[in-house]
Structure 1
Amino acid sequence: MPFRLGRRRNDSGSTGSFSTATPPETPGEKDLKDLTAEPEEIERGNSKLDDTKHEGREETEEVAPEEKAEGSKSKREDTIESPEDDPEQVIATTATASSASFSDLPATPKPDWADDIPPDTTDDSSQIKTRRKLMLRDEEPVLYRDKYMAVSKTYLYIFHYYMPSGSEKAIPLTQIKNIQTDKEAKITDGQFQKWGSGGLNLWWARDFGRWRNHDLCVIVTVNHGLVKRKGFTMEDLEGLDILKKAWRNAIGARESEA
Structure 2
Amino acid sequence: MENNLIYSDKLVDVDDKGIRLKKYYFPLGQAKFVKFQDIFKMEKRQATLTTGKWRIWGSGNLMTWFPLDWLRPKRDIIFFIQMATQSTRIGFTVENTKAFIEAVESKDIRIENS
SS in 2 for 1:178: strand
Aligned-pair identity in percent equals 21
Residue matched to 2:95: 235
Alpha-carbon offset, residue 247 of structure 1: 4.2
Q: Is 2:32 the counterpart of 1:169?
A: yes
Find the aligned partners of 1:148 and 1:180 in 2 and give their Cα distance.
17
Superposition TM-score, scaled by structure 2 size: 0.79
* Aligned twin of 1:189: 48
Question: Are 1:152 and 2:11 an aligned pair?
Answer: no
* 1:146 positional shift: 0.8
In the TM superposition, residue 176 of structure 1 has moved relative to its aligned partner by 0.4
**Can you give the 5+ residue segments of structure 1 that lack an aligned partner in the other structure?**
1-114, 116-136, 249-258
Change in Cα spacing, 1:247 to 1:160, as seen in structure 2 (3 Å) is farther
Q: Which of the pair has the greater relative contact order for Cα pairs under 8 Å at 6+ separation?
A: 2
Letter in 1 for 2:32: K
**Aligned: 1:206 with 2:85:** no
Residue 226 of structure 1 and its aligned partner are, at CA, apart by 3.5
Which structure dedicates a bigger proportion of its chain to strand?
Answer: 2
Q: What amino acid is aligned across from residue 14 of structure 2 in structure 1? A: V
CA distance in 2, matches of 1:165, 1:148: 15
Counterpart secondary structure, 1:194: coil
1:219 aligned to 2:84?
no
Higher-Rg structure is: 1
* Larger helix fraction of residues: 1
TM-score normalised by L of structure 1: 0.38
Classify 1:155/1:168 alpha carbon distance in 2 versus 1 (closer, same or farther; 3 Å).
Answer: same
Match of residue 45 from structure 1? none
Shift of 1:191: 2.6
Q: Is the 8 A contact 2:78 2:93 kept in 1?
A: yes
State the AA in 2 paired with 1:178: K
Unaligned runs of 5+ in 2: 110-114
